[in-house]
Structure 1
Amino acid sequence: MLAGIGALIRFANSLNISQTAMKYSLKKLLGFGLILILTAIALISLRPKQVLQPLIVGMNDWPGYSVILYAESKGLFTKRGLDVKLVHFEEQNDNLRATMRGYQDASFAPLPQAMQLDFPQDTPEFILVADVSAGSDGIVARPRLNFMAQMPGKKISARFGSLAHVILLEALWANDLDLDEVEIIDISNEEGVNHLKDGSIDAAVLWDPLLEKTAEEIGGNIIYTTAEIDSMVVDGLITRPAVVEEKQEELIRFIQVWLEVMDAVETNPEEVFTIVAQQLDVPVEVFVQGFQGMIHGDRLLNEKMLVQRQLESVISRGYRLLLESYGHRLIIRDDIVINSRLFSQAVERS
């Protein structure tokens, strides 16, 4: 009997030893796990943060995309961690060439001028639609000329190869007129206004606010605007493949800022227009007049034009129109890349 009691005592002691060993092993395991967690946290904190590169964007003072000046004034770029420099150009061809030659990263510019860009060494990528002309561009004619049908045999001013020339080509096409039915006077918009006033030409291609202002000053008539068709006068952000590859994050965040500006235009237009007009040093009403005659580049428009590829048909129609009209005299590009990926990622992360 004593032997049995001794065996029970020894068994109980062995259980206590096993439980102690288990407790020790568990503590050891938990301690090791804690060390791993703390080490991982330390490594994450020591990992260098993503360094964003500066972004240089060229533009002129066209209202459709000069609204981006609102982002600069309100610090929206800084909030996204961006260092953006907006560079002003008088000539859009100079703006686009600066981008394609690597002097800057992107250009706000019209699609038709990108299609005539004389730089075959690289391919333009269209990554954001800023606006589509829907009445802000047109043709003003002298008194007693009321319709495009009266234009055969008349003199119309438009700088050859410029956006004004494209608008004229669209107007003729939309009204079943041939290019050789009118005489194109190869001068600038400003010169066109002066010639219209002195009676040496019959009509001029202009855009707001000069379009309506000139019609009022000469007592003339606006005989055509881009509101009459689905215009190929599409403005947007254009870059080159190397920038898309090297500054993808910067471009995505820039597009996010653009969409913020579009939201501000919708919810607080008075503040946006006032700030941008001050930046451009023009009266607010003048800026608003120019801004109203277009479809603005919000999420919906970019979804249609980029993601749903409607811009492809615009480019195709524009290519045919330009080629038929004066393809023998200028380079007409059919290699414009429509890149919807950056816009889609910007929307997903907004």
Structure 2
Amino acid sequence: MKRIIAAMGILLVFTAVAQAKTYTVGTHHWIGFSANDVADAKGFWKKQGLDVRLVNFTSEKDACNALVNKRVDIAYQMMGTWIGFYMEGSPITLIAEVDWSHGGDKVIVKQDIDIQKLKGQPFGVYVDNPAVLFFLHQYLATNTLSVSDVRIIGGLEAKELADSFIFGRIKGLVLYNPEAIRAEKEGKGKVVGTTASYPGCMPEGIAMRTDALKSIPLEDFSKIFRGWLEAVKWMGDKANWEEYKKILNSKTFEGDPPYSDGELKEMYEGVRIHDADMLRERNRDGGGFSVWLREMKTMLKNSGRLAKDFDPDKIFDNTAVRHFSEQ
């Protein structure tokens, strides 16, 4: 009898292991998403009993396409970028805002140029989508200009865009760190506006394919949030800075030349990653992210860029965050 019970116990263990699912998470080279790398490196998800495989893409486009083409289960990106993919016909649902750019995205122009003389000139953006244009729109409006007053140049990767500015092919651009730092230093540029000027104007977060929403149980999503939030707390402890730097250079920015202490600190200060309270507040019914969605839709409509209409209450499904918040 004891042998039978023991055998049944072993069988149950192996059955649980066999049924355990590995979730594939798409991220890319951006410090705002580095909590994924920390959670993975420090075993915070394993502590939750969750098996997560990170795929770190070198570009935003590759990360988004991986989700659209079902190569990852969830992916992190600017929320405006996800809206752009939705308007192009991809079945995207927004799950949770987890951070926002707070100075990491910058408007940079040549030091010797008059802002008003940018009218009619090519203006580079690292991606021609709602996320970046919403930020640029707010900056230009403070100078009595609009997005339609400049010739938007998109389609270049961050490094190529910085090179175009450095070699004088464009006089202004919107770019993020670390390439923004290089454009400013090597291209004789000056920063004339950042996302810190408009807090929350460029939120970032998680999306899934709409047809895969039920593929991750709510409790597993709560575990994903717990691992992420433990990483955020760990990152905020100054005692962990040296180890965090190693994770950033070896994981988040894998393949890039190592960044200096000063460069990494500037990147980290250029983003606001939500703690548990902020995660709940921004993603609650009628919360800050819902307000942003409505403002984004208005901007797209008024500028003639609403390629496909969307209902802010339907494109955003906060069920997973609400489940986590109720625990």
TM-score range, shorter chain: 0.7 to 0.9
Alignment of 1:262-301 (within 5 A): 262-267=232-237, 268-270=239-241, 271-279=243-251, 280-281=253-254, 282-285=258-261, 286-301=263-278
Q: Say if 1:269 and 1:234 are closer, same or farther in 2 by CA, change over 3 A.
A: farther
Q: Which runs of 5+ in 1 are unaligned?
A: 1-41
**Structure showing greater Rg:** 1
In 1, Cα distance between equivalents of 2:79 and 2:58 = 17
Q: What is the one-letter code of the residue matched to 1:305?
A: R
Alignment of 1:181-260 (within 5 A): 181-188=149-156, 189-248=158-217, 249-260=219-230
1:152 maps to 2:106 = no
Deviations 1:33-68 (A, max 9, x none): xxxxxxxxx99x979769432111111111101231
In 2, Cα distance between equivalents of 1:187 and 1:240 = 24
1:303 maps to 2:275 = no
User: Partner residue of 1:342?
Assistant: 320
Q: What is the one-letter code of the residue matched to 2:317?
A: N
**8 Å Cα contact 1:157/1:186 also seen in 2:** yes
Q: Say if 1:326 and 1:91 are closer, same or farther in 2 by CA, change over 3 A.
A: farther
**8 Å Cα contact 2:136/2:147 also seen in 1:** no
Q: What is the one-letter code of the residue matched to 1:182?
A: V
1:327 maps to 2:305 = yes
**8 Å Cα contact 2:130/2:300 also seen in 1:** no
Q: Say if 1:184 and 1:97 are closer, same or farther in 2 by CA, change over 3 A.
A: closer
Q: Secondary structure at the match of 2:282?
A: helix
Once the 2 structures are TM-superposed, how far is the Cα of residue 178 of structure 1 from its aligned partner? 2.0
Once the 2 structures are TM-superposed, how far is the Cα of residue 296 of structure 1 from its aligned partner? 1.1
Deviations 1:162-196 (A, max 9, x none): 75444323322444422232232335233332232
Q: Say if 1:198 and 1:125 are closer, same or farther in 2 by CA, change over 3 A.
A: closer
Alignment of 1:37-52 (within 5 A): 51-52=19-20
Q: Say if 1:250 and 1:325 are closer, same or farther in 2 by CA, change over 3 A.
A: same
Q: What is the one-letter code of the residue matched to 2:296?
A: G
Q: Secondary structure at the match of 2:29?
A: coil
1:316 maps to 2:294 = yes
Q: Say if 1:216 and 1:95 are closer, same or farther in 2 by CA, change over 3 A.
A: closer
Q: Secondary structure at the match of 1:124?
A: strand
In 2, Cα distance between equivalents of 1:46 and 1:209 = 49
Alignment of 1:1-80 (within 5 A): 51-80=19-48
In 2, Cα distance between equivalents of 1:323 and 1:259 = 35
Q: What is the one-letter code of the residue matched to 1:310?
A: G
In 1, Cα distance between equivalents of 2:184 and 2:136 = 17
**8 Å Cα contact 2:108/2:191 also seen in 1:** yes
Q: How many residues get paired?
A: 304
In 2, Cα distance between equivalents of 1:116 and 1:183 = 19
**8 Å Cα contact 1:60/1:92 also seen in 2:** yes
Residue identity (%) = 19
